[in-house]
Amino acid sequence: MIASNERADYLLGVAGAWRCLFFATTSEGPLKWRLFILPDDCQSNVSNENGTLTKSSANKYLGVTPPISESFPTERDLEMTADLERTLYTADFFESDEEGVKRELVLGKLNALVREFVKEVGRQKHLPESLLGEVCGKIYTFGSYRLGVHAKGADIDTLCVAPQHVDRSDFFGLFYNMLEAEREVTELTKVSEAYVPVIKMKFDGISIDLLFARLNLAAIPDDLDLTDSGLLRSLDEKCILSLNGSRTTDEMLKLVPNISTFHVALRCIKLWAQRRGIYSNAMGYVAGVASALLTARICQLYPNAAASTVVTRLFKIYHQWQWPQPVYLKPIEDLPLQMKVWNPRIHVADRFHKMPVITPAYPSMCSTHNVTASTLRIMTEEFRRGAELMLKIEQRKALWADLFAKTDFFARHRNYFQILAVSESEEAHLIWSGFLGSKVRHLTPKLELEEYIDAAPPFCEGFELVVDAANLEQVRAAHYYVDEDDVPTPTSVPEPMTGESKKYYTMAFYVALIISPPDPARKGPRRVCLDGPINDFKTFVSSYEKLTPSMHLLIRDIKRENLPAYIFEGQARPPKKGRRSKPAEEGVGSPKRTRTGEISVDSSMSMSAGSLPTVESDATAAFCKN
C-alpha cells in the first residue's frame, strides 16, 4: 500500500483539483450510480454545449494534476534501476544493433516504394509532369517502435500518408500490387474492410502493419507534423482512425518528463504484462498503447524519479485506483471538428467502460474499451502482486526476475472452457482463428452474469496445433490430456478411424471459470446451466460472413488435470488434488461424478458452417456443497 505520508501528500496536492460527475445507469436491474472524477481544469467544460473536456488554463507541470513527488532518486533507487536494466537484457528483450540497422533499411525501402507509388498514381491521374516530383508521400512509424521500446522480433506499426490525389482504393490496389512484385515481401495480406484498414506483410523478414491516410494537401512535406489537429478537417473516419496511432504516440512523447526513464519503465511493464498473461487488447487486457499511457501517467506524477521508482509507484497506485475513474495524460481537447470524443456525459457506451485509459490526441478515445469485469479483476490482482514484490525487491528479499515469473493461469484455476478454431486449410485457418481470437472476449461478460460464476477471464493468447486426424472427434482428443490412471470419458476417447487422415489446422483458446465459494447457510447442491452463454456465443460467431464449410468451432469444458501437454511446455504439470478410484460399474459413457466443492460441466459442443449452432450434450454445471 502507499505509505500514509505519501497518500497525504497526494491528497494535499490534488485537494480542490477534482470535481465529480455521477451517471445513472441500468443493466436489467435497479438504478446504479457510477462516479467519474474529472480534473478541475476540465470542469469548465462540463457545461459546454457538446460536453467535451478542455484545458482552461496553462499548467506548470505535465498532466492533469500536480506531481505527487518531485524528489530525485536515492542511491538505492539507482541501484535498483541498474539491476532492472540488466534483467531486461538478460531476458533477451532488446534486439541487436544489426537487427536495428536492418529495420531502418527496411523502412527506407518501404518509404521509397511509397514515394514511387504516389508519383505513379499522379501519372495515372494525369497530373502535370512538373508536379510529380513534389507530390511525394511519406511513411511514419508509431507504437512501440516509435516510442523506442519495441522488443526483439516485434512488428513495426507504420502509416502511409499520401496527398489528396491518392485514395484508399489506390493503396489497396496499385500499392498492394507493387508490394506483391517485391521479392523481399512475403506473407502479404490486406484487410481493407477492417475497422482500421491495414496491409500486413513481412519485408525482408521484418513484420510490418501498414495503415493509410489521405490528407487534404497537394503534397506531403518532409517536416509535416501529424499532431497538428487542423490536418483532420474534412477527413473521413478511416483516415482519422489511421492517423490516431501516430498522433497518440507523438503526443505521449511530448507529455513525459524524462524519455529515458519512461523507456526503461515501459519496457519493464511490457515484459511484466507479457509474462503475467495480461498483454492482449483483443482478450480484454492492456496492450501497447494502454500500457504506455499507464506508465506515462506515473512518470508525470514522479517527474524526477528513477525507472525503478516509477514501476514501484505504478503497481501501488493502479492496485488502489478507483476504476472507472479515467486516466488522462492531458485535458481532453475540444475542437470544432464534429468528431466523437470520449465523454461519458454524452455517449452512453463510454459510461460502461470498466477501466478507461484515455488517449491524449484529438479525438480522444478509450484505449481499454475491451476490458471486462473479469479481466479487470485479474489485472488488479497482478497490480497487487507487483506492489508486494516491489516492496520485497526494495528490501533485497526478491529479484526482478521474480516479478517477471511466467503466469500461473493454468495452475491457479480448476475449470476452463476450451474453444477450438478448426480449419481444413492453412488459408482458412489464418482467417478463422484470427476472427475467433478477436471474439473470445465477448463470451466473458455472458458467463459473468451466470449464478455462481464469479469471473471468467480468458487466457491472453491462443495455442496453435496442426493435427493429423480422420475426423473432428480425433481433433478434439488431440487437445485433451488423459492420465493413464484416469477413467476414460466420452470426450477423451476419439471415434474409430472412419476415413483417411488429413491435416486440421487448429487454434485453442481458454477461458477460466472462477466459481464463487459455497454459502454455508445453503443446503443441497448448487446448479447452474451454461447452455445460454455458450449458445449465444456460437450464434454470434456463426454470423461471420467469411465462414465456410471448412471452418469448425468446438467448445467444451475441461478441468486443469486434462489440459493438453502444450499448455505446460517446459513446466511441470500441476499435481492433481486427490484421485478418485474407479468404480466397478463405471465406464465410457457413464455420468461424470463430482467431488465436494467442484464444478462439473458437460458441454461438448460443435459448429460448422451451414448449420445452426447445436448443443451435443447438456451444458449443465453441477455444484456440490462443502
SS (H, E, C) 104-171: HHHHHHHHHHHHHHHHHHHHHCCCCHHHHCCCCCEEEEEHHHHHCCCCCCCCEEEEEEECCCCCHHHH
Decide: helix, strand or coil at residue 60: coil
How far is residue 583's CA from residue 533's CA, in Å, rounded to a whole number? 34
36 in a known ligand binding site: no
122 in a known ligand binding site: no
190 part of the active site: no
557 in a known ligand binding site: no
Task: Give how far Cα 329 sits from Cα of 3, 355, 401, Å.
Answer: 24, 15, 30
156 in a known ligand binding site: yes
157 part of the active site: yes
Query: Choosing from 10, 41, 77, 144, which is the catalytic residue?
Result: 144
270 part of the active site: yes
144 in a known ligand binding site: yes
Query: CB-side exposure of 135: number of CA atoms within 13 Å?
Result: 26
209 part of the active site: yes
Q: Is residue 279 within a helix (H) or strand (E), and if so which, with residue range?
A: none
In terms of DSSP bridges, do strands 156-162 and 206-214 run parallel, antiparallel, or are they unpaired? Answer: parallel
270 in a known ligand binding site: yes
How far is residue 25's CA from residue 253's CA, in Å, rounded to a whole number? 36
Q: Are 270 and 281 in contact (CB under 8 A)?
A: no
Query: Choosing from 41, 77, 157, 250, which is the catalytic residue?
Result: 157
Query: Choosing from 119, 190, 238, 270, which is the catalytic residue?
Result: 270
Q: Are 514 and 452 in contact (CB under 8 A)?
A: no
| Burial status of residue 91 (CB atoms within 10 A of its CB: 0-12, 13-18, 19 or more) | middle
Task: Give how far Cα 541 sits from Cα of 281, 322, 555, 557, 558, Å.
Answer: 19, 34, 12, 19, 21
Query: Choosing from 41, 170, 209, 602, which is the catalytic residue?
Result: 209
155 in a known ligand binding site: yes
Give the three cell numbers for residue 350.
463510454
Query: Choosing from 145, 279, 362, 510, which is the catalytic residue?
Result: 279
279 in a known ligand binding site: yes
Query: Choosing from 155, 167, 204, 531, which is the catalytic residue?
Result: 155
CA nearest neighbour of 374 among 320, 308, 441: 441
Give the active site residues: 144, 155, 157, 209, 270, 279
Residue positions in the annotated binding site for ATP? 142-144, 155-157, 209, 270, 279, 288-289
Residue positions in the annotated binding site for Mg(2+)? 155, 157, 209
Residue positions in the annotated binding site? 142-144, 155-157, 209, 270, 279, 288-289
